[in-house]
Chains A and B, each alone.
Chain A
Amino acid sequence: MRLVRVIRSNPLVFSGVAIVGIFGIVAILADIMMPHDPWGYGQPFLAPSRLHLLGTNDVGQDIFSELLLGSRTSLLIGFSAGILAVVIGVFIGMIAGFRGGLIDNLLMGMTDVVLVIPALPLVILLTVYVRSNIWLIVAVIGLVSWPNTARVIRSQVLTIRQSGYVESARALGADDGWLMLRHILPNVMPLILAKFVLVVAVAMLMEASLSFLGLGDPSTKSWGMMLRYAYARGGFVRGLWWWYTPPGLCIGLCILGLMFISFGVEAKSDPRLKRVLDR
């Protein structure tokens, strides 16, 4: 298939997909793979051993199991927020670019307003009133990260709308819906994918920061929460590297993988580079 060929032809995308794919599988199969119950208490501050691969934390929970379960939360937040942001961004960008005129001005004005809303302080503010849970975080991240996507999509749609093939399809009698779905959307798809992956990365980082600041959902295990507890309960001070290093490493690795995909896909959507990559 075309997608498979693209992935295999580009080592950057391939490694990115591999990294994110492994984390994805872990997140899905976490329940089976976990050697211990990450919520169960036991002997605290154990060093890595055969029984506890990465040791235990301050209340004796198995860090390896926490890590596996945490990947689920982190990826869930990342991907949900990514989907939310991209759906909004693509919708607004396509409408604005395709319709033009007043609608374009209104939508882009709105985009500019949202663009300046800082996500982190907004979440901090909201958690004062609402009890923090992951869906709140997803909603906030999703609702503030779409403007960038919308702008990029709009500008791309503006060029595609002018292109010969859209015009000739219109002359064949195609209506707006047809043009959007059959010509414009497929041509902005690589861009959408690239932007989606970026938003996912940003969302994962933001989740980690929020959790680290103590604004995360305490009833879930996530990499950010693990870091927070490692910091708050003396993991850093005592030099228990097996406590704070793995979640940090996982976040970094996961984002690296996403970035790889994004770069590769973006290069592919650049028409000047595309010719080269298509060969």
Chain B
Amino acid sequence: MSITSVDTDLDNLTLTLIADFDAPIDRVWELWSDPRKLERWWGPPSYPATFEKHDLTPGGEAMYLMTGPDGDTSRGTWRVTAVDPPTSLEFTDAFADADGTPLADMPSPRVTVQLTERDGGTRMEMRSKFDSREDMEKLVDMGMVEGLRQAVGQMDGLLTG
């Protein structure tokens, strides 16, 4: 109902998503600007996010911690490059180490969010763009690595146990 269109552009390494919400623009903006609201949707239910820092000003940072079902944690950080409440936000979303320092060799897509009032509701256009194809592939490889590591680890346990 909310998602109006999704476009994945392999050549430009971009995902563009348009969603229409039946809510005023200020309430949609709040989902981004209020960290307590943001953490209720940013991470999937199995990996909820906790925002420990949330400074939506140009040059500001947000830091979040995601906790998995087995208690495994992972950190991410936003570097805010532009913000204009309640209509636009731009940031890079990066993996971070325990101190919240972005991991330089990991992919960090640039995310652009535009909100506009439309037909009594709010349209959100979100664009996420990778720097390079290598970055995108690295991300998938990481998942593959982790998946294989888990699978092989389980095998090792079964076979030696």
A and B physically associate:
no
What residues make up the interface of A, taking CB atoms closer than 8 Å to B?
none
What residues make up the interface of B, taking CB atoms closer than 8 Å to A?
none
